[in-house]
Structure 1
Amino acid sequence: MASNKEIVFITGGNTGLGYEVVKALCKSPRPYEIIIGSRTVSKGEEAIASLQKEIPESASTLSVQQADLESDSSLERAVEAISAKHGGRLDVLINNGGASFDNDIAPAGRQMSVRDAFNKMWDVNSPRLLFVTSGTSTLAETEIFDTPMGQRLNASPPAGWPKGSAGPGTMSVTGYRSAKTGLNMVMREWARILRNDGVKVWAVSPGFLATGLGGVGADRLKAAGALDPSVGGETVRDVVEGKRDGEAGKVVRRDMVQPW
């Protein structure tokens, strides 16, 4: 069924930063058809009920689509469902769930893998493609030691092995930072690949937010200086609504372009 609203699909939209992005879009006077990607449909439905209660006058409409970014069959079903409902149209894809866009090896007898087909669908139909990255991913800021955050992230631990798993200067964020730095290059590659198709691509660095990421707890994160997650949702909404179009192809923070 065709819609005159902009169609937005956000993975992981039922919780954390994804939920805040959906909330920010629902608060906008601009109407959206928002598809919440959730590994568990019931959790997506719970998120919708909460949003409709909190923002009853929203101009946007909400639906949920089961989407597990670690499952090719789940993604294939999501593509088929969204394509059938919206005629292959998608205006904005917010890759909040951290999916890999590398091609898989095609099984015998297929022209392309399920991920290839998924990517091809979004390549053609998504005029805006957003990746959610992290402020910890910047290489330039690995040499900053004169701020509390720089000291926590960049200080070196004492000599000896093993290094431990908590406290300043440990290796507890090594995998996360490395993955997000790699994601920035994924964004740059998609910006290059889709440039002549008129698709704008960003990575959004939403800031240090008090979400459930890492299982630390919102109160402890706020005590360490984390901002309310709604700040990140509003930043993503600004990108969706064209306020950061001059910075396409970059990693954007709330108030600046993040250094590489």
Structure 2
Amino acid sequence: MATVTSPVILITGANQGLGFAIAEVFSQSKHPYTILVGARDQTRGNEAVSKLLSTKTNEKTTISTIGIDLASSESITSALEKIATNYGRLDILVNNAGIFGAPGKTWNSTTRPDWRTIFEVNVFGAIELVETAFPLLLKSPSPRVIVVTSNMGSISKVANGHVPCGPVGAYYSSSKAAVNAMVANWSQTQKGIKFWATCPGLVATQFGGDFTMHQGREPTEAADIVRKCAEGEKEDVVGHMIWDQDGKSGVYEW
């Protein structure tokens, strides 16, 4: 096991989109990190690492790929075993990987298999990863879990009319509400770890197709809220669902 002094950070879904932007933000922080780019596909993960290495600004930061698929318990276990072997601890877990709808289906497809597909990644995979990582996180002097969520998962906001995608986004919204509930629970029951649910807002990535690409904001700007949680700038809102945009920030009701 290598001796690592810089914080070890695992970012899921980091080979593209917002996850890549989160890795990029950390790679350009004034603080050094050991960044693990979580990716389902090793080749795409390696390509992302190559890009990040060419633009990183902190010479002490290291970046490497780690294979992880939130739809697979075996993949989650394998990834955490590798982290345990190579680093002995996990300081920051960024649970970013997620899907808006069942791959290859229309977003408003509502069959049981389609619901199960999105919940396997956004809910069951996210929960399993976080809870399986607890032993490694508790070996860190300052463990942090940052779950990327959406205000579409705020039951309070939905009840007050916040349904920007209408029925099309119902099962994505429900999946985020479920994982938000777990963040609230962990914050109360896992006192040795700090938790945040972060809403990046609409981001210019392929996550939502042409709409998000053309209407969303700069990915690294959206990603910076995750860095702020990791670097102590959001200590006053630990255990909450938070947002940060246009020079303003706040807390969403669950």
With normalisation by structure 2, the TM-score equals: 0.80
Match of 2:84 in 1: 83
Letter in structure 2 aligned against 1:192? Q
The structural deviation recorded for 1:259 is 2.3
Specify whether residues 259 and 80 from structure 1 end up closer, same or farther in structure 2 by C-alpha distance, changes over 3 A only: same
Letter in structure 2 aligned against 1:132? V
Match of 2:55 in 1: 54
C-alpha distance in 2 between matches for 1:19 and 1:134? 18
Match of 1:35 in 2: 36
Structure 1 residues 115-124 or 173-182, which shifts more?
A: 115-124
The structural deviation recorded for 1:59 is 3.5
Query: SS of the counterpart of 2:252?
Result: coil
Kept in 2: contact 1:204–1:253 (CA 8 A): yes
C-alpha distance in 2 between matches for 1:50 and 1:228? 18
Segments of 5+ residues of structure 1 without an aligned counterpart are 105-113, 155-167
The structural deviation recorded for 1:101 is 5.2
Bigger Rg over Cα: 1
Q: Select 2:176's aligned residue among 174, 180, 185.
A: 180
Query: SS of the counterpart of 1:9?
Result: strand
Report whether the alignment pairs 1:133 with 2:133.
Answer: no
Match of 1:246 in 2: 236
Q: Select 1:228's aligned residue among 208, 218, 233.
A: 218
Letter in structure 2 aligned against 1:131? V
Kept in 1: contact 2:12–2:97 (CA 8 A): yes
C-alpha distance in 1 between matches for 2:125 and 2:44? 28
Query: SS of the counterpart of 1:171?
Result: helix
Identity of matched residues, %: 28
Specify whether residues 117 and 185 from structure 1 end up closer, same or farther in structure 2 by C-alpha distance, changes over 3 A only: closer
The structural deviation recorded for 1:201 is 0.6
Letter in structure 1 aligned against 2:72? S
Specify whether residues 192 and 136 from structure 1 end up closer, same or farther in structure 2 by C-alpha distance, changes over 3 A only: same
C-alpha distance in 1 between matches for 2:28 and 2:190? 30
- Equivalent runs, 1:155-174 vs 2, <5 Å: 170-174=166-170
Q: RMSD value over aligned CA atoms?
A: 2.5
Q: Select 1:209's aligned residue among 199, 203, 207.
A: 203
Match of 1:189 in 2: 185
Specify whether residues 143 and 102 from structure 1 end up closer, same or farther in structure 2 by C-alpha distance, changes over 3 A only: closer
- Equivalent runs, 1:106-117 vs 2, <5 Å: none
Specify whether residues 22 and 58 from structure 1 end up closer, same or farther in structure 2 by C-alpha distance, changes over 3 A only: farther
Report whether the alignment pairs 1:94 with 2:67.
Answer: no
Report whether the alignment pairs 1:19 with 2:37.
Answer: no
Kept in 2: contact 1:123–1:194 (CA 8 A): no
Match of 2:111 in 1: none
Report how many residues are paired.
224
Specify whether residues 102 and 32 from structure 1 end up closer, same or farther in structure 2 by C-alpha distance, changes over 3 A only: closer
The structural deviation recorded for 1:93 is 0.7
The structural deviation recorded for 1:117 is 7.8
Segments of 5+ residues of structure 2 without an aligned counterpart are 99-120
Specify whether residues 73 and 194 from structure 1 end up closer, same or farther in structure 2 by C-alpha distance, changes over 3 A only: same
With normalisation by structure 1, the TM-score equals: 0.78
Report Cα offsets for 1:68-112 as digits up to 9, x if no partner. Answer: 11112111211111101112x1110111124545899xxxxxxxx
Query: SS of the counterpart of 1:97?
Result: coil
Kept in 1: contact 2:70–2:126 (CA 8 A): no
Letter in structure 1 aligned against 2:185? E
C-alpha distance in 1 between matches for 2:136 and 2:96? 15
